[in-house]
A and B are shown apart, each in its own frame.
Chain A
Amino acid sequence: MNGDTDLWTVVVIIGLTAVTVLTRGLFFISSKPWTLPHWAQRGLQYAPIAALAAVIVPEIVMTQGSVISTWQDARLFAAAAGAAWFFWRKGAGQAVLGTIVVGMAVYLPLHVGLGW
């Protein structure tokens, strides 16, 4: 066991849990009949892939708030190898699992071995 547990911290954690429920269910709360306008419904079909790209891309090409200026970065090669595997397998079967395994097989030697 590590350190003392602080009541204030526990209250903040409960608060953060409530924030998770509130944000993820914000549009589920009211049960009044209401639907999004048609254009917004159509637009939302592009939201899942946009959300993924927005989360992923900065994690691959940025370090501490700025775009990396070298190609010697393990993340670039790992992501490229993982994506290449996915498209080579045409997404069949466990292609996502393959993306993770192939990506990490490229990432670890470059990152841990060469320090990229």
Chain B
Amino acid sequence: MFLSRTTRHHPEFRQGALDSLTAAPGIAAWGLMMGVAMVKSGMSTVESLLMGVFVFAGSSQLAAIPLLVAGAPMWVILATGFCVNLRFVVFSAHLRPYVMHLPLRQRLLTGYLTTDLTYVLFTRRFPRHGGDAAERQAQQAYLAGNSGVNWIAWVGCSIIGVVLANFIPTHWGLGFAGILALVGILCSLASSHLRRVSAGVAGAAAVAAFALPFKLNILVAIAAAVALSLLIEAVSLRRGEQA
């Protein structure tokens, strides 16, 4: 997807890169602090670099690091990573129609590179999957530019964080810039009443269900928000018919 010239020269490639770039300082700060956290937890430089470059999933890294350092059994660590990542399974269900025209290897590469940020930006830009070849080409180009910049910001700064771990102060809380980037994207999505309801319900549910293991509170929150939004939508549609 990145190697093809037609993708890189498509105007949507630039648009995708630009959209990612506005959030990149937050992602970069987050990646940086992830690099620092891996080293400070006692992982070796090589282990931290390998994890920073390949695993590419902040929340599952955060969950795995203490287990790894404590020497937990491998299946426990992998199962934990799987559960913490369950929200991405929901994203893949959503994105399926956008990618099924691609060969399997490219589909899996697309999935691998899909983070919270790129999923949200992509579905904001393209609420519907492409109907014809030109639309699909545009979507692929946007996704390549978008996830390319996001990957460079996250992985590049993870590496810097690993290398400079002993010089970067952790008590400053620089990683909060990552949350602020997501706050900005959240604001850009809050364009309809029902979407604001969805955000409010999900936020409250994620706090209320926080005690669940494996970050399952996030999955519960998404399910609750989607279900309630559908319900409100159905009720207001029926009211509209009666009026």
A residues at B contact (CB < 8 Å): 1-6, 8-17, 19-29, 31, 35-36, 39-40, 42-62, 65, 67, 74-75, 78-79, 82-83, 86-87, 91, 94-101, 103-104, 107-108, 111-112
Main SS at interface, chain B: helix
Contact A59 B179, beta carbon cutoff 8 Å:
yes
Contact B112 A103, beta carbon cutoff 8 Å:
no
Contact of B50 among A13, A28, A62, A104 (CB under 8 A): A13
Q: Give CA–CA (A40, B82) in the complex, Å.
A: 23
Contact of B176 among A23, A36, A50, A78 (CB under 8 A): A78
Main SS at interface, chain A: helix
Count of chain B residues with Cβ under 8 Å from any Cβ of A? 97
B residues at A contact (CB < 8 Å): 22-23, 25-26, 39, 42-48, 50-51, 54-57, 60-61, 64, 68, 74, 77-78, 81-82, 85-97, 99-100, 104, 107-108, 110-112, 114, 116, 119-120, 123-124, 127, 165, 171-173, 176-177, 179-190, 194-195, 198-207, 210-211, 217-218, 221-222, 225-227, 229-230, 233
21 contacts between A and B (CB under 8 A): A12-B78, A19-B78, A23-B82, A23-B88, A28-B95, A29-B107, A47-B225, A48-B189, A50-B198, A50-B202, A50-B221, A50-B222, A52-B189, A56-B182, A56-B186, A57-B202, A57-B206, A58-B210, A75-B176, A98-B184, A112-B172
